[in-house]
C-alpha cells in the first residue's frame, strides 16, 4: 500500500515549508515519459509537474499498478511496504527529491 502525507492544516503548512526550503537548496529533476525514477531508501519524491506510475512486479512476473502520483503528491520507497516497488514517469515530469537528514 502506498501512503501519502495527510492534508491537515498544520501538517500542510509544515510540508509546504519543507518544500520551499528544499526548492532553495536543490534542483528539480526532469525525466522524460517512460523514465525510471530512482527510489532511494531515505528519500521521498514530490511531483512538481507530470504523472508518475507507481507499480510493482510479482514473483511470477505480473505487473501491478499501485497508483498514480500527480502534481504536489509524494511517493517513495520509504512510503511503501511493497517489495519490488517501482516508479516510472507516464508523462514528461519535473520531480523534487527530499532526503531525510
pLDDT at 9: 47
What pLDDT sits at residue 86? 92
Q: How many independent structural domains does the chain possess?
A: 1
Specify if 4 maps to a domain: no
Question: Does residue 28 lie in a domain region?
Answer: yes
The pLDDT value recorded for residue 12 is: 63
The CATH number of residue 38's host domain is 2.60.120.10
Q: So what's the pLDDT on residue 71?
A: 95
What sign results for the dihedral spanned by CA atoms 14, 75, 33, 96?
Answer: positive
Residue-level pLDDT at 1 = 38
Sign of the Cα torsion 48, 81, 34, 40 reads: positive
Note whether 39 and 80 are within 8 A (CB).
no
Residue ranges in the chain whose pLDDT is less than 70 = 1-13, 16, 19-20, 22-26, 100-101
Amino acid at each position: 500500500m502506498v501512503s501519502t502525507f495527510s492534508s491537515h492544516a498544520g501538517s500542510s503548512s509544515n510540508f509546504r515549508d519543507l518544500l520551499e526550503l528544499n526548492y532553495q537548496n536543490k534542483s528539480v529533476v526532469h525525466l522524460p515519459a517512460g523514465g525510471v525514477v530512482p527510489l532511494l531508501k531515505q528519500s521521498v519524491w514530490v511531483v512538481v509537474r507530470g504523472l508518475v506510475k507507481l507499480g510493482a512486479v510479482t514473483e511470477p512476473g505480473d505487473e501491478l499498478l499501485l497508483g498514480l502520483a500527480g502534481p504536489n503528491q509524494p511517493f517513495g520507497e520509504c512510503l511503501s511496504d511493497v517489495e519490488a516497488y517501482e516508479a516510472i514517469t507516464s508523462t514528461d515530469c519535473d520531480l523534487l527529491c527530499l532526503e531525510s537528514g
